[in-house]
């Protein structure tokens, strides 16, 4: 009995031995560290910077005449700061039909509420077409 033995080829013999995995090189680790440090620096700057806060609250709206609207609002800010607020009048389909920037200067401690931190204001806005509502779009602190 003669048996012809033919060995089965191994996968490594057919396709080659798998390449050994390379450890992460020093350059790659350095790049990852620099990238993480840059992200941390940007996050720190974004969280700590910014101007002092200012906020507004819409109080009322009325039509004073054809082409004119009156918007009542309150502004809360540091009483020594100067702020500007963009006041707008809106049409029935929410289109801006009137716009005005109002400057609110420093307040004394006796004005308004919150030791002068919150004050009430009224802005008369000229409109191009009939308005049905109005209010403050945005407020910001003016840097001196």
**114 CB-near residues (< 8 Å, 6+ apart):** 76
16 or 55, higher pLDDT: 55
The token pair at 13 is 């013999």
pLDDT for the residue 7: 62
Q: Which residues pair with 123 in a beta bridge?
A: 71
In tens, the pLDDT along 105-130 reads 998 888 878 877 899 999 999 999 99
Both tokens assigned to 114: 């919150």
Q: Is the overall model pTM greater than 0.85, yes or no?
A: no
Domains and CATH numbers, the chain: 55-142 (2.60.40)
Q: How far apart are CA 142 and CA 17, in angstroms?
A: 69
């Amino acid at each position: 009995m003669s048996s012809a033995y033919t060995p089965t080829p191994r996968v490594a013999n057919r396709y080659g031995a798998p390449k050994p995995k390379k450890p992460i090189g020093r350059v790659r680790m350095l790049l990852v560290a620099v990238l993480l440090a840059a992200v941390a620096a940007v996050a720190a700057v974004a969280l700590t910077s910014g101007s002092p806060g200012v906020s507004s609250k819409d109080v009322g709206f009325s039509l004073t005449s054809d082409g004119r609207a009156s918007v009542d609002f309150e502004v809360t800010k540091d009483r020594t700061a100067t702020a500007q607020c963009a006041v707008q009048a809106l049409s029935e389909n929410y289109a801006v039909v009137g716009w005005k920037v109002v400057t609110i200067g420093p307040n004394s401690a006796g004005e308004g509420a919150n030791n002068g931190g919150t004050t009430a204001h009224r802005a008369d806005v000229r409109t191009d077409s009939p308005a049905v509502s109005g209010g403050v779009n945005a407020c910001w602190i003016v840097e001196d």
